[in-house]
A = this chain, B = another copy of it.
């Protein structure tokens, strides 16, 4: 693991997610850009002293010298955005598979380089677009794919959070500090941090691609350098329209990602904060509540649940599904088998490239006076 030391938020989430299914073990780390903090953090996590590294360069080099059976199998990168690319590229060049916290990189150009490297090496990259790991999101995707709703006409996705309503970055909040700092976060704040999740979710469920956007990005808290709020009109490649709203100044909201996908015959609705229910609405029949863990779900939904219906799973389990599917894919390849479609169902480098393209397009559209802006990669 690279990054994720003391006081980091997402590093701990990655570790829990990797632990849950007993398939993955944390064997080494370079847990902070500060070597001392890195070592202290490693001790707290029971890392063996000789694999508790001060820098990621050291880690990748030394681990690659270990025998195949003794070295780490893959690297997880949980640093702020600006520090994704270099370790990821180095890991791939040394033959390690990679998990990266989203977004994949600081720029679209970096993302494309990573894609090239993946194509060249045949290694596997997983990107933690967490929300696509929920069972009911997989149910939604499958129902759309099975044409349950007919042609999709409209997608509404919103991701309101309230935690940046106040300028907490000036009060020493580390999480808000790096997210509002262009040098660490990139050219977008809110859209990069959570807008990308919303866009990925919309494309993942619908199987469609965004082709045009019209973005209104806003800085609602004075003094910020990056957007903390935004609204985007969307057009998809099948003619559907949509709206994407992301905000981190939506006071009182926690992590209220919601999506509605409307087809000709019916529609679906999913809320991340109540993730075990998928609401399915029909033109002339009662609304249905599909529930995680039930036997009537598609195989993709069942494959990604651990408990029977009524025993709620949550964010950590969704996160764990990405790790587990990634691990099953590696194991399957290692054993010379072809991974099943269920195993391969985790976000990868293509999602990473589209995510960075989303950020760059949405920022460009936000600055433009032109109404419709072509989504370019």
Interface residues of A (CB under 8 A from B): 9, 12-13, 15-16, 19-22, 26, 45-46, 149, 153-154, 156, 158, 160-163, 165-166, 214, 216, 218, 220, 229, 231, 233, 241-243, 245, 247, 249-256, 260, 262-267, 272-276, 280-291, 293-296, 306-317, 368-372
Q: A interface, by DSSP: helix, strand, loop or mixed?
A: loop
Interface contact A265-B251, CB-CB below 8 Å: yes
CA distance A347 to B274 in the complex (A): 28
Interface contact B313-A283, CB-CB below 8 Å: no
In the complex, residue of chain B having the shortest beta-carbon distance to the beta carbon of A297: B286
Interface contact A262-B250, CB-CB below 8 Å: yes
Instruction: Give the contacting residue for A310; candidates B16, B254, B289; CB below 8 A.
Output: B254
Given A229-B241, A243-B243, A312-B314, 6 other A-B residues pairs in contact with their CB atoms under 8 A:
A15-B22, A160-B262, A249-B262, A285-B296, A311-B314, A369-B372
A151 nearest CB across to chain B (Å) = 10
A261 nearest CB across to chain B (Å) = 10
Interface contact B243-A245, CB-CB below 8 Å: yes
Interface contact A254-B293, CB-CB below 8 Å: yes
A15 nearest CB across to chain B (Å) = 6
Name the B residues within 8 Å of A317 (CB-CB).
Answer: 314, 316
Given contacts A241-B229, A286-B291, A312-B273, contact A371 B214 (CB under 8 A): yes
Name the B residues within 8 Å of A311 (CB-CB).
Answer: 254-255, 314-316
In the complex, residue of chain B having the shortest beta-carbon distance to the beta carbon of A369: B371
A-B contact pairs, 28 of them (CB 8 A): A22-B45, A156-B245, A160-B260, A161-B310, A214-B216, A229-B241, A231-B233, A251-B263, A251-B264, A252-B281, A252-B283, A253-B267, A253-B281, A254-B293, A254-B308, A254-B310, A255-B309, A273-B310, A276-B314, A284-B296, A286-B288, A286-B294, A289-B289, A311-B316, A312-B315, A313-B315, A313-B316, A369-B372
